[in-house]
Every structure is written in structure tokens, then in C-alpha cells.
Chains A and B, each alone.
Chain A
Amino acid sequence: MKFAVITFPGSNCDRDVYHVTKEVLEQPTDMIWYNDKLDLSSYDCVILPGGFSYGDYLRAGAIARFSPLMESVTGYAKDGGLVLGICNGFQILLEAGLLPGAMKVNDSLKFVCKYTKLKVINAGTPFTNRYSKGEILNIPVAHREGNYYIDDEGLAELIANNQIVVKYLDDEENPNGSVVNIAGICNKEGNVFGLMPHPERCAESILGDGSKDGYELFASILDYVNKRGEKCG
């Protein structure tokens, strides 16, 4: 399968994601400069990486959504293409309206970088099929604006459609104060997924506390795409 990793000015996890899909998962991956290429149809998955696109000035992700490439990403997603937004990428997906809700500054008003325990709520998405429902994951976060917010009506809809994909384990583990401890959500169709934690930072056991839980997320995408290919082929 073929991954695309988008680099906006100020993205800073683009090389990290590239490293994981290209070197660890050993899949062809292109890094795409935000205004170099607009046709994404040849890719099996498009990843919006973390960082501070446009310095996060105004609001995290608020300027990146206006870049020409985001129109292509929107079209790609509407056609059923897999889109993964990590951290700042998640923020951009919210700003672009590809996922519902909004992001506020952490309750602590501080940037927070640490490992967090997550619980898998929906293991049926293309991004989480290698996990099991209820599985506890150990994946680090690093953000200042990760306090996910959605109104009651929207929340009811997320729950009804099984769009909450991962939650922080409990209030104690929640690093930012997000609504019902949400860490990541998908769209109704399940092909667009955004999460605050950084799976690319725990895809190799040599790093940090040794968790490889993030690897399985990327491997899920690969499995999904391969199976889809078999079906079509």
C-alpha cells in the first residue's frame, strides 16, 4: 500500500510518521509539500501529522485548513479515502469540518507531554482493527490544545454512530479535560480518524517506556487496505 504524509509549514511530526510507515512498516510513503501536489487519488491513506502548522497562530489548525491541499483532502475523504489526523492533524480535520467538534486549550492551560492510558471503544475501524474492544493502550500525548469539545447533541450522535474510537482510560488519565475523556473520533463512514495521542511515537520498543501500541494502529491500516485489495482483486 502507499501512504502520503502531508507537510504544512510548521508540521514537525511529518518525518516521524514517515519514518514509521516507510522504515518500520516498510511501506512506500511520499512526503507531500502542502502546495506541491493536489491529486491524492494514487494513495491508500493520507496522514496529516502533528506539529504547529502555521505556528498554530490564531488557533491550532485554523490556518492550515485554508491551504489548497485541504480541498483535495476533503475530496479524497468524500470518495472514501482513508485519512488519519494525529494531534495537529486532528485539529486541522476539526477545523476543516471533516470531523465534528472543536478543540480547546487544556484545562491545565499548559502543554503536556507524557504517556497516557487509552481504552479502545471502537475496534471496527480501518485504523483500529488489530486492537480489541476494551483493550488498554499506552500511547503518549504532546499538546496544549487537546481538550476536545462537542455539544450534547453532537455527543449523542457520536455515541449513536459508534464514532468515539479511543478514550483516555478515566478522568485521572485524561490529560486535557476533553468531553467524556474522548481521545480520538472518526466520521460516520469510519474512513476519517483523528486522535490527539501520537501512535508514531510508540511504534518501536527501543523508544521511551517500550510501548509498541502505536505500531498496531499503522498495521491496522495496512491490514485493512490489503484485505480491501483482495476483495476488489
Chain B
Amino acid sequence: MAEKPWESEGLTKEEYDMIIDILGREPNKTELGMYGVMWSEHCSYKNSKPVLKRFPTEGKHVLQGPGENAGIIDIGDNQAISFKIESHNHPSAIEPYQGAATGVGGIIRDIFTMGARPIASLNSLRFGELDDEHVRYLFAGVVEGIAGYGNCIGIPTVAGEVYFSNAYKGNPLVNAMCVGIMDHEDISTGRAAGVGNPVMVVGAATGRDGIQGASFASDELTEESEEDRPAVQVGDPFMEKLLLEASLELIKTGALVGIQDMGAAGLTSSASEMASRGGTGIELDIDLVPKREEGMTPYEVMLSESQERMLVVPKKGKEKLVKEIFSKWGLHAAVIGKVTGDGMIRVLNKGEVVAEVPARSLADDAPVYQRESRRPDYLDEVQNYDLSRLIEPTDYNQSLLEVLGSPNIASKEWVYQQYDHMVLVNTVVLPGSDAAVLRIKGTKKGLAMTTDGNGRYCYLDPERGGAIAVAEAARNIVCSGAKPLAITDGLNFGNPMDPEIFWQFEKSVDGISQACRALNTPVTGGNVSFYNESPEGAIYPTPVIGMVGLLEDINLATTHHFKDEEDIIILLGETKEELGGSEYLKVVHNLEVGRIPELDLGLEKKVQETCLEAIKAGIVKSAHDCSDGGLAVNLAESCISSGLGARIKIETDLPPAALLFSESQSRIVITVTKDNLAKVEELAKKHAIPFTKLGEVMGDRLIINNLIDLEVEEMKRRWQESIPSRMEE
């Protein structure tokens, strides 16, 4: 063996010594490779575990919290929802199409592994600014990859978010979320139980692709990373469609003990995690694994990240049934070993034992580190920036058009028109509104779902930024008429060895936890992605929240566009002078500084309750979360999507820029008919929240005090053409 064999597997000398302690001997190359991937951050969460424990994970709807392939929540009538978000940042930075495509494929597998039929995909994307050619290449490739995989497998991509900032120039973020639905009795887990039960690999054959992908994901991107392209897997959505149908058919038979996706760290992770959860061991024979290539070594077979494979443990005697089902779908199903009682992962090759290590030591006993944490120095400088020195714009129309034309605010039609967002005929609210809404066939119910995160906020204040991400996700869910149920989190950060990065991570988790507690939306699972750095530095700390909510009555699904002239426009909540971290500051003043908006979680909850109560009373014609871009952008968006204008008159002491562009939290704009104005006022009083009548829907211009007077068509052009015009350069 090499002089420092641990280095090539991404382990430290101390970790190598721990392995020797566990085994009572030196590990061989295959064993060391298995520890290398399982003890990588990507698989073991060794740097994040102690912090993730702070999340609230319990609630009366939660059927499965963190720890399985995906979380599960109860939605009544014997039905349940499984959902999770996962990152595929590094692969997408190197090979945008395949990186994003396999990200989608991986998270879809996590969902049907739980026994759920996937019904929707979402995503959360971050790129550098679009004036850079390489960024445009990454953006176009990622969107095409998500489309290529999702469209082919036939799962609608119904919602998401895209932001552009130089902080992500060298390290884009690609987080994919999937939501599935199932009956309670079909809930499956990744457990290898019952000594003597067969262990089978089903789906695609194993090749040399993606070896050490998990380790690659747990390192910073460098100039040489493009040479790691072979570590990026290649996806085959057609194969996965067959695997999905075959797996769900198999789960329905009740012949299964456990089933697990082979994602990161392939056979090594699926075997050790299933055995560890079941308190058992697994013995498997390399010779029996269907392979695509000749002469693969045990190391390569155990570490391959070939896509579209699953490990299943059927009840003894059901092997033939498994083979029959998979052969109907044209897929491999091969017995490769059996469940044992000794707790070991034992790998045989041509009759010889080539690896023998305790399953638990791989899956659960990775070292856990309490990393050093320190408040970054930059915070004082950016937070204390004196915004009062800023000069008010001379032409607010111009400022609004500039903000509407910012790719962060502008229409994302260029993106979502490439996604099939209607297949499965459930999509009630199309992309572009606050949250996607899907009906649940055969019931009156519906599901609302969204992804939310604001990296700039978290850069300026990770704790409050984390809390705001949850609050905003919940507000989006509420605006669509649903009650928020639970979240999944995608935590994207830089190198955790840097105490300042680790501080950002800790604080973000604290903020998310506070908001989840206050809004009663527990965390059911998620993903941590560290090492999001390029030679230009770390990304903005970017926690992304994926949230799911339930509509008791699908007919109450609400959209953000104005409906009819003369409807009254109402603001629930209050606008304050809070321009710190706003899109306006970035676009008009080229500044990413200041104190981000306050978040009063008590008020937030009351505003949401008021809105939901009004929607349930059937009196709300439109509802729109007021956040990025502020009140002016909120109103403009409701105008643009309806083609209707609005006349707004607000009495205020706020400076005009703050009135229009402040991103104060806990605000929702709703419209109602004149007759229902009093009812909403009453509700607002009951919940003791600020209430302002802003004006009414009318004409084809947006008029706000004497500040804004713009044709809806003109705003629409700026908003609609922003991204396409940049991409056609």
C-alpha cells in the first residue's frame, strides 16, 4: 500500500487509526475505500450532526423524521406524503446537464424507495450573474438537465426558484426536491431484517461511473475539478421510469422486507445502512452483481455510483416474484447475497473474503466533529453600513422597472417552460405563483409546495436569514390556501473547517429551528452540502427550505394575480424602513449590505392565520406574499400576471424608496370585493395585526401615490424579456 493510504480516500491519519482500532488490523484497499466514502461528509454528516440535532423533528403529522431515505407526513384519509430535497452542486458545476439530471434522478429514487409514487419535482438554483458566458452555459445546462430527466420520467416540475449572484459564480447550487404520495400500508423502509433473507440488486447494471463521487462532493472545487468529470454519473431517466414502476409494483405485493436506493457510495452505503438499521449484517458476492464492464475490481463494484439501481431484501422464497416483476419491465434482478446475524458487511470475490467490516462502523459510527465556530469579521462592516446616506432616486418609475428587470425578480418562464409541469394531470396552480398547488385525485384535498431561500439575507445575518426562509416558505404556502405542514432543508455552505463558515451554518440552523417551532412545521429530513467554494471564495450561506402544505378543499386554491376591476387591495402586516439586503439596494445602488428585515415570528403566525382564515371563508380573490423587491414589485407582479392595473394611495411617513422597495417581513397583499372589506378588517382586528386598505384594481396602469405611474404592458415587457434577452446574447 501507499505510504499514506488514507489520503487517496479523503481520510485523515486519525480516522485511519480509528479504522485500525475497529478492525484490529490494517484495512485493505477495498475496505479503506468503503470507509473513505461512508465517512465522507456527504454520507456521514460528521461535521454537521451535532448541529442538526437542534432541529425540531417531531409533530403529530410526522410519520417518519430524518434518518430514512426521505421524511413522511400524514395527510389524513390513510394517505401520506413523502418528500425531500437534495443537493447536486459539485457535479453540476463540472457537467451541468448530467449533474442536474442525476440530482433529479437521485431524489426521485429516494421518494419511491419509501413506497410513494412521485407526483411533483421542485428545485432551487443559484448561479453567478448572467453577463458571464460560463455562467450562462451552466444555467442553460442545468435547466436542460432537470428538464431532460424530469420530463422523460413523467414527473411534473411544478415550482422552484432561481437566483443570480456573483457569490455563486464558480460554484452553482442545484437543489432538487421531490414529493410523492402513498397509502399508509405502502410505507417502506431501508431495513435489512430477517437472517437468511436474500439480498438483491435490481435495476441497471453496475459500471465504473461515479466512483468516489461522494468524496468528490466533500471537497472544494478547484481549477482542476473539471478533470474529475468521470466522477459525475450519467443518468438514464427511461431506465429510472422502469425502475420506478417495477419498484412500486413490487412494494404493493408485500413481499419486501426492505428497499434502498443506491445513490452516493453505491452498494457500500445501501448495504451498510440497511444492515445497520436492521441490526444485522449482509454478506454479498461481487461475482453475482450484474456488471456493465469486464474486469471490475471489488473496490470498483463496491464504490460505483452507477445510477438507477436499488438494493432490496425480499422475504425468503420471494426471489422469483421479484425477478418476474423486474423482467416484465426489462430490468435486472439478481440475488447477490443474504442477510446475516453477525453485523458484518462481508464481501466475497471468487470465493474469497475481500472485505469484512462491521456495518454499523460504516453507517453510523463515523467520527463526529464539533467544529470551531467564530462570528465573521465582515458582519459588523456590512450590517453597520449607513443606509441613511443613500440618495433617493429621482425617477421611481425607472427604479421599479430596473428591479422588475433584475433576473432575480424577473419572470422565470424561460426556465419553467422547459419543464413539463402538467403531466399527471394534477397541477391546479401553474408555476409563477407563490406556491404550486396539486389536487389529490379522488379526494377534495390538495397539496401546496414551494422552495425558498435567500442567500444574501443569510450572508448578512445567517440566523435571521434562516428564520426568514422558513417564514417566507410558509407565507407562500398560506397564500395558495394551504396550511403549512413540514419542511425539508437543503443546507448549502462553504468549507466547515473554516470557523466563520461553521458559524454561518450553526446560526442558520438556529434560525430555521426557531421559525419551524413557531410555525409548527417540523423538519423531516434534508441534506447538507459543505465545501461550496471555488478559487473565488465561499458561496453565500444558502439554506433552502422545501415546504409542503395541505388544502382541505382544492376549490379554495388561490393565486396571486388580480381578478376583477374594483376589487379592493389590502395589505396585511406592516411596511417598515427596512431596505437592508434588499433587491432594490443591489439593483439600484449596487450594494449588498445593511441589516436585513426584522422577523417577529408571533406576528408572522398571526398574519398567516388571518390570511388563511379569510381564504377559508371564501372571500379572498388573490393573495401574494410581499417579499423580494418589496410592495411595488408585489403589486406589479399581480398586475402583470392579470393584465389589470391598480390605483394605490398610501398615507405614510416612510421615505418613498422604503415604501416601495422595503422587504419587511410578515406582509401579504390580498384582494377582496368591496362587500367583503369589512369582513377582512374584522379578521385583522381579531388577530390584532396591522391592516391597510391600499387601493383598488382598475385600468391598465399601476399608480402608487405620486411615485409610480406605469403601464402594465411596459412593466410586463421588462419583467418578461429580462432572462430570455440575456440568454440569447
- Chain A residues proximal to chain B, CB less than 8 Å: 9-10, 12-13, 15-16, 19-20, 23, 33, 50-52, 54-57, 110-114, 140, 142, 144, 198, 200-201, 203-204, 206-209
Of all chain A residues, the one with the shortest Cβ separation from B430 is A208
From A19, A111, A112, give the contact of B425 (CB < 8 A).
A19
Which residues from chain B contact A23 at a C-beta distance below 8 Å? Answer: 441
Say which size band chain B's interface belongs to.
Answer: 20 to 34
Taken together as a complex, chains A and B put the C-alpha atoms of A209 and B429 apart, in Å, by 8
CB contacts under 8 Å to A, within B392-451, are: 416-428, 430, 439, 441
A–B complex contacts, Cβ < 8 Å, 25 sampled: A9-B242, A10-B242, A12-B153, A13-B154, A16-B424, A20-B425, A52-B151, A52-B241, A55-B238, A110-B144, A110-B147, A110-B418, A111-B151, A111-B419, A113-B151, A113-B416, A113-B418, A113-B422, A114-B417, A200-B425, A206-B439, A206-B555, A207-B427, A207-B428, A207-B439
Shortest CB-to-CB span from A174 to chain B, Å, is 14
Q: In the complex the two chains form, is A142's CB within 8 Å of B151's CB? A: yes
From B153, B237, B241, B424, give the contact of A15 (CB < 8 A).
B424
Q: In the complex the two chains form, is B423's CB within 8 Å of A142's CB? A: yes
In the complex with contacts A10-B238, A13-B154, A54-B238, A206-B428 CB distance below 8 A = yes
Which residues from chain A contact B242 at a C-beta distance below 8 Å? Answer: 9-10
In the complex with contacts A9-B242, A113-B419, A207-B425 CB distance below 8 A = yes
Which residues from chain A contact B328 at a C-beta distance below 8 Å? Answer: 33
Interface 1/0 per residue, B122-165 and A, CB below 8 Å? 00000000000000000000001001100111100000000000
B385 interface residue (CB < 8 Å to A): no
Shortest CB-to-CB span from B610 to chain A, Å, is 26
Which residues from chain B contact A10 at a C-beta distance below 8 Å? Answer: 152, 238, 241-242
Taken together as a complex, chains A and B put the C-alpha atoms of A39 and B423 apart, in Å, by 29
B55 interface residue (CB < 8 Å to A): no
Taken together as a complex, chains A and B put the C-alpha atoms of A55 and B242 apart, in Å, by 10
Of all chain B residues, the one with the shortest Cβ separation from A56 is B152
From B151, B330, B424, B427, give the contact of A208 (CB < 8 A).
B427
From B237, B422, B424, B555, give the contact of A55 (CB < 8 A).
B237
Shortest CB-to-CB span from A49 to chain B, Å, is 10
Which residues from chain A contact B152 at a C-beta distance below 8 Å? Answer: 10, 12, 52, 55-56
Which residues from chain A contact B420 at a C-beta distance below 8 Å? Answer: 111, 113, 142
Taken together as a complex, chains A and B put the C-alpha atoms of A88 and B108 apart, in Å, by 23
Which residues from chain A contact B441 at a C-beta distance below 8 Å? Answer: 19, 23
Of all chain B residues, the one with the shortest Cβ separation from A19 is B425
Taken together as a complex, chains A and B put the C-alpha atoms of A208 and B421 apart, in Å, by 10
Q: In the complex the two chains form, is A198's CB within 8 Å of B422's CB? A: yes
Q: In the complex the two chains form, is B423's CB within 8 Å of A13's CB? A: yes
B554 interface residue (CB < 8 Å to A): yes
Taken together as a complex, chains A and B put the C-alpha atoms of A142 and B319 apart, in Å, by 39
Which residues from chain B contact A33 at a C-beta distance below 8 Å? Answer: 328
Which residues from chain A contact B426 at a C-beta distance below 8 Å? Answer: 207
From B236, B238, B417, give the contact of A112 (CB < 8 A).
B417
Which residues from chain B contact A208 at a C-beta distance below 8 Å? Answer: 422, 427-428, 430
- Chain B residues proximal to chain A, CB less than 8 Å: 144, 147-148, 151-154, 236-239, 241-242, 328-330, 416-428, 430, 439, 441, 554-555
Q: In the complex the two chains form, is B418's CB within 8 Å of A201's CB? A: no
Which 4 pairs between the two chains have the least Cβ-Cβ distance? Answer: A12-B154, A55-B238, A52-B152, A16-B425
Which residues from chain A contact B416 at a C-beta distance below 8 Å? Answer: 113
Which residues from chain B contact A13 at a C-beta distance below 8 Å? Answer: 154, 423
Shortest CB-to-CB span from B329 to chain A, Å, is 7
Taken together as a complex, chains A and B put the C-alpha atoms of A113 and B432 apart, in Å, by 14
Taken together as a complex, chains A and B put the C-alpha atoms of A107 and B441 apart, in Å, by 36
Which residues from chain A contact B238 at a C-beta distance below 8 Å? Answer: 9-10, 52, 54-57
Taken together as a complex, chains A and B put the C-alpha atoms of A114 and B413 apart, in Å, by 10
Taken together as a complex, chains A and B put the C-alpha atoms of A208 and B423 apart, in Å, by 11
Q: In the complex the two chains form, is B421's CB within 8 Å of A113's CB? A: yes
Which residues from chain B contact A111 at a C-beta distance below 8 Å? Answer: 144, 147-148, 151, 418-420
From A16, A144, A209, give the contact of B423 (CB < 8 A).
A16
Which residues from chain A contact B151 at a C-beta distance below 8 Å? Answer: 52, 111, 113, 142, 144
Of all chain A residues, the one with the shortest Cβ separation from B439 is A206
Which residues from chain A contact B237 at a C-beta distance below 8 Å? Answer: 52, 55
Which residues from chain B contact A198 at a C-beta distance below 8 Å? Answer: 422
In the complex with contacts A12-B154, A12-B241, A56-B152, A201-B422 CB distance below 8 A = yes
Which residues from chain A contact B148 at a C-beta distance below 8 Å? Answer: 111
Taken together as a complex, chains A and B put the C-alpha atoms of A50 and B242 apart, in Å, by 16
Of all chain B residues, the one with the shortest Cβ separation from A14 is B154
Which residues from chain A contact B239 at a C-beta distance below 8 Å? Answer: 55
Which residues from chain A contact B421 at a C-beta distance below 8 Å? Answer: 113
Of all chain B residues, the one with the shortest Cβ separation from A13 is B423
Taken together as a complex, chains A and B put the C-alpha atoms of A10 and B245 apart, in Å, by 10
Of all chain B residues, the one with the shortest Cβ separation from A140 is B422
Shortest CB-to-CB span from B420 to chain A, Å, is 5
Taken together as a complex, chains A and B put the C-alpha atoms of A142 and B426 apart, in Å, by 15
Taken together as a complex, chains A and B put the C-alpha atoms of A3 and B160 apart, in Å, by 37
Of all chain B residues, the one with the shortest Cβ separation from A113 is B420
Shortest CB-to-CB span from A188 to chain B, Å, is 32
Taken together as a complex, chains A and B put the C-alpha atoms of A80 and B265 apart, in Å, by 55
Taken together as a complex, chains A and B put the C-alpha atoms of A9 and B554 apart, in Å, by 32
Which residues from chain A contact B439 at a C-beta distance below 8 Å? Answer: 206-207
Taken together as a complex, chains A and B put the C-alpha atoms of A16 and B417 apart, in Å, by 20
Given A12-B154, A111-B148, 5 extra CB contacts under 8 A: A10-B241, A16-B424, A52-B237, A113-B420, A142-B423
Taken together as a complex, chains A and B put the C-alpha atoms of A20 and B426 apart, in Å, by 12
Which residues from chain A contact B427 at a C-beta distance below 8 Å? Answer: 207-208
Shortest CB-to-CB span from A88 to chain B, Å, is 10
Which residues from chain A contact B423 at a C-beta distance below 8 Å? Answer: 12-13, 16, 50, 142, 201
Taken together as a complex, chains A and B put the C-alpha atoms of A203 and B427 apart, in Å, by 12
Taken together as a complex, chains A and B put the C-alpha atoms of A9 and B236 apart, in Å, by 13
Taken together as a complex, chains A and B put the C-alpha atoms of A127 and B609 apart, in Å, by 48
Taken together as a complex, chains A and B put the C-alpha atoms of A112 and B413 apart, in Å, by 10
Q: In the complex the two chains form, is A201's CB within 8 Å of B430's CB? A: no
Shortest CB-to-CB span from B236 to chain A, Å, is 7
Which residues from chain A contact B144 at a C-beta distance below 8 Å? Answer: 110-111
Taken together as a complex, chains A and B put the C-alpha atoms of A114 and B415 apart, in Å, by 12
Taken together as a complex, chains A and B put the C-alpha atoms of A219 and B292 apart, in Å, by 49
Which residues from chain A contact B330 at a C-beta distance below 8 Å? Answer: 9
Which residues from chain B contact A12 at a C-beta distance below 8 Å? Answer: 152-154, 241, 423
Taken together as a complex, chains A and B put the C-alpha atoms of A23 and B237 apart, in Å, by 29
Taken together as a complex, chains A and B put the C-alpha atoms of A111 and B425 apart, in Å, by 18
Shortest CB-to-CB span from A113 to chain B, Å, is 5
Which residues from chain B contact A113 at a C-beta distance below 8 Å? Answer: 151, 416-422
Which residues from chain A contact B417 at a C-beta distance below 8 Å? Answer: 110, 112-114
Which residues from chain A contact B554 at a C-beta distance below 8 Å? Answer: 206
Q: Which residue among B147, B241, B425 has the maximum number of chain A CB atoms within 10 Å of its CB?
A: B425
Of all chain B residues, the one with the shortest Cβ separation from A17 is B425
Which residues from chain B contact A201 at a C-beta distance below 8 Å? Answer: 422-423, 425
Shortest CB-to-CB span from B250 to chain A, Å, is 16
